[in-house]
A = this chain, B = another copy of it.
Amino acid sequence: MTFQVYDTTLRDGAQREGISYSVVDKLAVARLLDDFGVGFIEGGWPGAMPKDTEFFRRARTELNLRHAILVAFGATRKAGVAVADDPQVRALLDAETAAVCLVAKSDIRHVERALRTTPAENLAMVRDTVAHFVAEGRRVFLDCEHFFDGYRFDPAYTSEVTAAALEAGAEVVVMCDTNGGMLPSRVTAAIGELVDRLGVTPDRLGIHCQNDTACAVANTVAAVEAGVRHFQATANGYGERPGNADLFAVVGNLQLKLGLPVLPDGCLEQMVRVSHAIAEIANIAPDTHQAYVGAAAFAHKAGLHASAIKVDPVLYNHVDPAVVGNDMRILVTEMAGRASIELKSRELGLDLAGHPDALSRVTKRVKELEAGGWSFEAADASFELLVRAELAAETGAVTTRPFALESYRVIVEHREDGAVVSEATVKVRVRGERVIATAEGNGPVNALDEALRVALSRHYPELAGFELADYKVRILEGSHGTGAVTRVLVETAAQQGRDWTTVGVHENVVEASWHALVDALTYGLAKTPTTT
């Protein structure tokens, strides 16, 4: 049996305080996880959450996963209800995924005190529901909630639940450390005992750890060392309370420390990019100190040992940072290094390797901008515009911006009658002509976007095909309150599912948005065949 890398960022990970994904966000996260090569993506709980029902509906036509299988999550049938009559079971079937994951109680105290049913009925609920989905042709995983606490309190009952699910046809029964209180030695011991008791091989078991002892990654690795081949984790360890096992640290440890081939070839080096892009979508600042993927994960304070580190990096890094798409940093600098910029440019189809001077200038410019709060992790289009400008400068080509700003003014009023209105006026030069346009919007940025489109529409009718699809704001250096720097990400969508993201940074949110909007239209116009 190969490894089952099972991601639950979109279901259990979304329990983290403050995370609130839109359906579009969820589709984007699923694509990133697929790029990273996970085998299973748990997309949500259809029926329980309307947004998740919608996600699975759109996923059928909009996601083209190369590596992953989409999994819908749900619960075993309700006590005292026939499985076919349970609307929650129905909603789970209607998600039309090849695999489902069912959560079941496996701690007898939770059966009696939270579920308020009998131990026997709970076993029947597990059997019936697993068998129902197997009969419907689905692959079935069973998450045993509070597995380890339950096993410790009453090993016989927790083992019975596990056996019932396996007998009914579950592919894997997942031991969930729901309260997160385990330590690696206890995970090892429990798996050894359970395997003996049930007479199954450990590859019929899975592991799902929460991080309440700061051991979720270690507990997951310990389970794999004990023979488990299915593990559940979330990107960046997002999850309720201290979070879940971090997908990236677990994969890094299994693949690079234990030499286990858990990902398809070519995926491991996507780690940093995928981690940071998901952080952007979740609107959580990436953790600089996160193992493997943090900007400081391989940062060494310059000083006495700098030259030794440069000569013999292998003596100072626990793994080669490039293997996970990270960089070693010697000096205290911002994130970007030449290597990652070259790598990223190559991804975009731009050859900087053959233009070392342009590469140097791009690296310098990115470092300056990142020091000021810019981030290109999730803004490929702005990055590409920057690289193209430097490449054009080197080859002597002339790059003309499609328009130039003279000035803008945005007014937001809360009037005496309670109405809130926004109005923007822009003055631009387009192809030698001076154009003034005014428009209203439901907020200052929307008004500005509308006014700019009105101003440009005669010269660039193709703008009508670009839709502003998403807009994200992050305040950096929060300790200065509203005086802090604001970073805006704008996602623009066009025909044929094309979309691109641009970035703007300024202490003023309107000006930051303006930068991102200008990049969005400039990029879109450069990539769209002209119709005039």
Contacts and interface: CB of A to CB of B under 8 A. Distances in A.
A407 B412 contact: no
A135 interface: no
A285 B476 CA distance: 13
Contact of A296 (B241, B472, B483): B241
Contacts of A4: none
A56 interface: no
Interface in A496-532: 506-511, 513-514
A189 B471 CA distance: 47
Contacts of A509: 443-445, 473, 509
Given A213-B257, A408-B414, A409-B413, A481 B507 contact: no
Contact of A471 (B332, B412, B484): B484
Nearest to A469: B481
A268 B257 CA distance: 35
A179 to B, nearest CB: 4
Contacts of A184: 184-185, 218, 221-222
Contact of A443 (B375, B446, B472, B510): B510
A156 interface: no
Please state the number of chain copies in the assembly.
2
A476 B181 CA distance: 32
B422 A508 contact: yes
B301 A213 contact: no
Contact of A410 (B181, B315, B411, B416): B411
Contacts of A319: 181
B17 A331 contact: yes
A241 B289 contact: yes
Nearest to A508: B443
Contact of A297 (B241, B296, B444, B510): B241
Contact-size category for A: 35 or more
Nearest to A217: B214
A289 B249 contact: no
A411 B409 contact: yes
Given A409-B413, A411-B410, A482-B449, A20 B476 contact: yes
Nearest to A283: B474
Given A183-B218, A218-B218, A113 B478 contact: no
Interface stretch (A117-125, A159-167, A270-278, A305-313): A305-313
A345 to B, nearest CB: 19
Given A414-B514, A420-B511, A446-B482, A257 B471 contact: no
A478 B22 contact: yes
Contacts of A475: 470-473
A319 B209 CA distance: 16
Interface string A440-483: 01111110010000000000000000011111111111110111
Given A17-B377, A289-B16, A475-B473, A299 B467 contact: no
A475 B469 CA distance: 12
Interface of A: 15-18, 20, 22-25, 107, 109-110, 113-114, 146, 149, 179-181, 183-185, 211-215, 217-219, 221-222, 225, 240-243, 246, 249, 252-253, 257-258, 283, 285, 288-292, 294, 296-301, 305, 308, 311-312, 315-319, 331-332, 375, 377-378, 405-416, 420, 422, 441-446, 449, 467-479, 481-484, 486, 491, 506-511, 513-514
Given A107-B315, A240-B301, A241-B297, 13 more contacts: A114-B305, A179-B317, A184-B184, A213-B253, A214-B218, A243-B289, A422-B510, A442-B507, A444-B444, A444-B510, A470-B475, A472-B478, A473-B486
13 contacts: A17-B288, A17-B378, A183-B221, A211-B289, A214-B246, A241-B297, A242-B296, A420-B506, A441-B483, A443-B483, A443-B510, A444-B510, A469-B479
